[in-house]
């Protein structure tokens, strides 16, 4: 894997470490952290700061009812959370979102495919498969889009993104991502609002494709 040059902003890592990042974005940030030593170190630093704050903060009294409820939860049998390992191009957090199964690809046209991992009020997270040299239709954004490269590469108006790189796109960016030559580009992308496509046909298909 080539050196990672596009990293997750520290503000997003801090939000993820504190549990304040929405589920779609959390999947992308977790996957990036699993691939990037620099961002993993930043994440662990935020966790350390959070732990120190909890240890040094003042304690507060709770009601007997709340205390009893917490003790009852501690008495319940503990079910270990399954840990998913990397499989091919998909790091552990992506395999967790896939529940350990291969992606279920749906055709988007021109050889491009997608597999929606989750979709809800907080946004959506999906895998995109883009053949070499194929362009994603020109679009801008109503909110924030995080795109992590898992295989291959793509380039757009802002630069080139390879395995492990993450692109942060907001309302200020209109771009036409194009998959690099070589291996097909597989990306993990999370959005909080639908994209804004420049041409008519993608806009007409948007409700069906859920992009």
Q: Which letter, b or e, does each residue of 42-80 get, where b requires 16 or more Cβ atoms within 10 Å of its Cβ?
A: bbeebeeeeeeeeeeeeeeeeeeeeeeeeeeeeeeeeee
pLDDT at 78: 47
Per-residue pLDDT of 42-101, as tens digits, reads: 999 999 876 555 555 566 665 676 666 656 655 655 455 568 999 999 999 999 999 999
Alpha-helix runs per DSSP H in 18-163: 23-35, 37-56, 64-75, 92-97
pLDDT at 204: 72
Per-residue pLDDT averaged across 128-153, rounded?
95
Per-residue pLDDT averaged across 187-196, rounded?
90
- For residue 24, give the nearest of 194, 211, 192, 209 by alpha carbon: 192
Are the CB atoms for 196 and 202 separated by under 8 Å? no
The residue extents of the domains of the chain are: 1-211
Are the CB atoms for 95 and 119 separated by under 8 Å? no
Alpha carbon 178 to its chain centroid, in Å, reads 20
The pTM assigned to this predicted structure is 0.82
Per-residue pLDDT of 4-36, as tens digits, reads: 999 999 999 999 999 999 999 999 999 999 999
How high does pLDDT run on average in the chain?
87
Are the CB atoms for 16 and 30 separated by under 8 Å? yes
**Which three-class secondary structure state does DSSP give residue 165?**
coil
Q: What are phi and psi of 182, to 5 degrees?
A: 110, -130
pLDDT at 195: 77
Take residue 11 and report the two structure tokens written for it: 């503000």
Residue length of the chain: 211
CATH numeric code, 1-211? 2.60.120.10
State the pLDDT confidence band at 130, using cuts at 50, 70 and 90: very high
């Amino acid at each position: 894997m080539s050196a990672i040059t596009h990293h997750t902003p520290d503000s997003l890592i801090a939000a993820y470490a504190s549990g304040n990042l929405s589920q779609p974005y959390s999947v992308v940030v977790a996957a990036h952290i699993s691939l990037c030593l620099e961002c993993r170190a930043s994440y662990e630093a935020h966790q350390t700061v959070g732990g120190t704050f909890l240890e040094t903060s003042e304690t507060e009294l709770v009601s007997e009812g709340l205390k009893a409820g917490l003790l009852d939860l501690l008495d319940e049998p503990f079910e270990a959370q399954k840990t998913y390992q990397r499989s091919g191009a998909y790091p552990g957090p992506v395999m967790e979102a896939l529940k350990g199964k291969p992606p279920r690809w749906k055709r988007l046209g021109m050889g491009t495919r997608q597999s929606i991992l989750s979709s809800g009020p907080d946004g959506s997270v999906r895998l995109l498969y883009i053949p070499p040299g194929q362009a994603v239709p020109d679009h801008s954004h109503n909110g924030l889009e995080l795109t992590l490269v898992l295989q291959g590469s793509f380039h757009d108006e802002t630069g080139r993104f390879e395995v492990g790189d993450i692109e942060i796109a907001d309302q200020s960016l209109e771009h036409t991502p194009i998959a690099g030559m070589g291996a097909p580009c597989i990306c993990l992308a999370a959005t909080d609002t639908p994209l804004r496509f420049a041409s008519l046909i993608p806009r007409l298909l948007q409700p069906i494709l859920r992009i």
